[in-house]
Chains A and B, each alone.
Chain A
Amino acid sequence: MKVKLLAFAALAVLVAIFPRFAGNYPVKLLQEILIWGIFAMSLDLLMGYAGMVSFGHSAFFGIGGYTAALLLAGSPGLLTGLVLPAAVSAVAALVIGFFSIRVSGVYFIMLTLAFSQMFYAVTFQAAWLGAEDGIVGVPRPRVLGVDLAQPASFHLYLLVVVGLAALFLWSVVRSPFGHVLRGIHDNEARMQAVGYAVDRYKILAFVLAGVVAGIGGALYTQLVGSITPDAFLWTTSGEALLMVIIGGTGTLGGAVLGAAAFILLQSLVSSYTERWMTILGLTFILFVLFAPGGIVGALRGRIGLRA
């Protein structure tokens, strides 16, 4: 436990000082990895711990992103940049979760997918939301008197927010609530029989995951200064899914590794060759066949599925 905290702290320090010796582009890549990483981590809470595989998680990323985009234009601050996007995502997750948990398995997958695609359709066709081009020119918030348009300040801010979100997810997973979630994943009927209000736990897990995903979306809007309907696409959820699986489902930290692997593969390989899709495809295939349990599993030298 202590080792893990030390490792986390060391990693945070490395991330913090990275801009000192790396150019703008690598720093941007790292920042994207942090953001997609936290998004994937929230999905891992849902998938790896609660056993709910969602193909609609991008809905909350998009909701957080659009809320931030709309509100930051007016008054750029922590409230509009993070708190309100998180709150709106929570409400959305509550509603979507309420309906989605009525089913499970592939039906849950498809229902969550349907919800996020509906958001895509609405934002794509709504002129007041920027239609297909989305919202651009979004300013960064001012936090504690500091204008985050300044790259160094933004980097630290990002690190702090992502770090807190990661710690939050980690503590959820280790808490009694997290244990109940895992119990539900292992054997829902038994948990129900023992007297747990399984539905309520599932909804809460869904909401917690949705809130963190919404924060991820809001951070993305702040990083790039814009958001498009693509954020809601099922392929965006799919990419997050890939990140979790590549990193190692049910490991939380793996999600960030998976995000790093995916983004680096996608960005760097395509800078070198037009055949990057073949390389990516083969990488996934070989990875699944020879590195089950994802990156974390391979690092541990054994299959990463929780025994």
Chain B
Amino acid sequence: MFVPDFFGQALNGLSYGVLLFLLSVGLTLIFGMLDVVNLAHGSFYMLGAYAGLATIAALGNFWIALVVAPLVVGAIGAVMERLALRPLYRRSPLDQVLLTFGFIYLFEDLVKWIWGGRIRSIPPPDVFSGSVTILGATIPSYRLFVIAFGFAMAVALWLLIERTRLGSIIRAGVFDAEMTAGLGINMPVVFTAVFAFGAALGGLSGVVAGPIQSASPPMGAGILVPALIVVVVGGLGSLKGSLAGSLIIGQAETFGKAWLPGASMMMIYLVMAAIVLLRPQGLFGRPLK
């Protein structure tokens, strides 16, 4: 063992944490608002990466892909919700498990059918393709962009939810869907919109993560559990919780890898188990009844 560069690892932890946030914020919205167990969230991440790939292949521009990919995935999410999920709201959550599991298989195979199973990669935009050194720690400039982008998204989402009419409808719906419907709001449309929005966020994280990680059809399964863990640690349906949870887990994972190598497979589960046992509703979730 040797002394790691503390600041460098902290930066690493920050960029990893922010990526986790982008990944999980869509899931927590869907969970919190719709009470839906969407195991296919990893698939949205994967679809986003591939939509990004296709856009870049066609138009050669990363920034356009950053806009187009979430829209595409949001549309897919909307169709999925309207056709398959809506009939299940009144039914047992286990039915949603089976349904979304089915979509995992389906999406993975469709993507493989169209793009083939070969591993792909999204190159970072030229302006961010190098690395910078801050206080002796080297970090790829793209990761700095991810950190900035992630925080900007967090602020934007907070504004959306706390300061807009749509946001207040969502908040009301999370609190009491029936009541909100009673106020004349078309809840089914809102549900579809929220699901699509959550899917779009998942897709966005796929494009953003693209230059750092590789893309392949089974990539969704790998991030589902980390996303679920962040959601649980942060508290279901809480934007603040999603951010706090992902930043904490990001640092825990990173320093775990740096200082306790043998435990890196287990670290995220240990952190989650500890938090769930000590504070079951998560950091910012609603207290359990």
Q: Is A267 an interface residue (CB 8 A)?
A: no
| Contact with B272, one of A114, A120, A238, A241 (Cβ below 8 angstroms) | A114
Interfacial chain B residues near A285, Cβ < 8 Å: 84, 99, 102-103, 106
The smallest beta-carbon distance between A223 and chain B, in angstroms, is 26
Q: How many residue pairs between the two chains, A and B, have CB atoms under 8 Å in the bound complex? A: 120
| Contact with B98, one of A121, A234, A277, A288 (Cβ below 8 angstroms) | A288
The answer to whether B236 and A246 touch across the interface, beta carbons within 8 angstroms, is no
Q: Is A292 an interface residue (CB 8 A)?
A: yes
Q: Is A35 an interface residue (CB 8 A)?
A: no
Interface residues of A in 46-74 (CB under 8 A from B): 47, 53
Q: Is A195 an interface residue (CB 8 A)?
A: no
The answer to whether B94 and A110 touch across the interface, beta carbons within 8 angstroms, is no
The answer to whether A284 and B94 touch across the interface, beta carbons within 8 angstroms, is no
The answer to whether B95 and A245 touch across the interface, beta carbons within 8 angstroms, is yes
Q: Is A289 an interface residue (CB 8 A)?
A: yes
Segment with Cβ contacts to A, from B8-16, B44-52, B261-269: B261-269
**Complexed CA–CA distance, A124 and B265 (Å):** 9
The answer to whether B225 and A121 touch across the interface, beta carbons within 8 angstroms, is no
Q: Is A39 an interface residue (CB 8 A)?
A: no
| Contact with A53, one of B94, B98, B103, B277 (Cβ below 8 angstroms) | B94
The answer to whether B91 and A281 touch across the interface, beta carbons within 8 angstroms, is no
Interface bits B82-120 vs A (CB < 8 Å: 1, else 0): 001001100111110111011111111110110000000
Which residue on B lies nearest to A275, using beta carbons? Answer: B109
Q: Is A15 an interface residue (CB 8 A)?
A: no
The smallest beta-carbon distance between A184 and chain B, in angstroms, is 15
B contact patch SS: helix
Interface bits A144-171 vs B (CB < 8 Å: 1, else 0): 0000000000000000000000000000
Q: Is A300 an interface residue (CB 8 A)?
A: no
The answer to whether A110 and B106 touch across the interface, beta carbons within 8 angstroms, is no
Q: Is A125 an interface residue (CB 8 A)?
A: yes
Q: Is B211 an interface residue (CB 8 A)?
A: no
The answer to whether B269 and A278 touch across the interface, beta carbons within 8 angstroms, is no
Interface residues of B in 51-76 (CB under 8 A from A): none
The answer to whether B94 and A113 touch across the interface, beta carbons within 8 angstroms, is no
Q: Is A129 an interface residue (CB 8 A)?
A: no
The answer to whether A280 and B105 touch across the interface, beta carbons within 8 angstroms, is yes
Q: Is A305 an interface residue (CB 8 A)?
A: yes
The answer to whether A284 and B105 touch across the interface, beta carbons within 8 angstroms, is yes
| Contact with A287, one of B98, B270, B288 (Cβ below 8 angstroms) | B98
Q: Is A7 an interface residue (CB 8 A)?
A: no
Given contacts A111-B277, A285-B102, 20 further A-B contacts (CB under 8 A): A47-B94, A107-B232, A110-B272, A113-B225, A114-B269, A115-B269, A115-B273, A117-B266, A117-B269, A121-B265, A121-B269, A245-B98, A249-B94, A278-B110, A280-B102, A281-B102, A282-B102, A288-B98, A288-B102, A289-B88
10 intermolecular pairs with C-beta atoms under 8 Å apart = A113-B225, A118-B266, A121-B266, A124-B265, A125-B262, A245-B97, A249-B92, A280-B105, A282-B106, A292-B91
By a beta-carbon cutoff of 8 Å, the part of chain B in contact with chain A is 31, 37, 84, 87-88, 91-95, 97-99, 101-110, 112-113, 221, 225, 228-229, 232, 236, 262, 265-266, 269-270, 272-273, 276-277, 280-281, 288
Question: What 7 A-B pairs come out closest when comparing CB atoms?
Answer: A284-B102, A281-B106, A281-B105, A121-B265, A277-B109, A114-B269, A285-B102
